[in-house]
């Protein structure tokens, strides 16, 4: 793959990870606040946020590989 292609892939993976991590963090905080206020934790929201974090793991590892390749080329 060319360096330009790897740069673009790295930018897209950064955007994807930041979006997923921000959304999951927001959902977890909202779940904890709702649980503290109402006394009932919405388990589905918390479970989906945790699943999103787990699903983002392959993208995170791919990004690490891309960054290593780019570091070698530069």
Q: Is the pTM above the cut of 0.75? A: no
Structural domain containing residue 15:
3-73
pLDDT of residue 15: 92
Burial 23-60 (b: 16+ CB within 10 A, else e): ebeebbeebeeeeeeeeeeeeeebeebeebbeebeeee
| CB distance 64 to 6 below 8 Å | no
> Rounded CA gap, 15 and 71, in Å?
20
> Rounded CA gap, 17 and 10, in Å?
10
In total, the chain counts a number of residues equal to 74
> How many domains does one find in the chain?
1
pLDDT averaged over 10-residue windows placed end to end, the chain, 74 residues: 87 90 89 86 82 88 88 86
């Amino acid at each position: 793959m060319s360096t330009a292609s790897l740069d673009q892939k790295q930018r897209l993976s950064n955007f994807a990870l930041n979006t997923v991590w921000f959304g999951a963090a927001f959902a977890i905080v909202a779940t904890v606040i709702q649980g503290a206020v109402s006394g009932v934790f919405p388990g589905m929201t918390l479970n989906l946020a945790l699943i999103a974090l787990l699903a983002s793991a392959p993208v995170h590892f791919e990004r690490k590989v891309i960054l290593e390749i780019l570091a070698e080329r530069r």
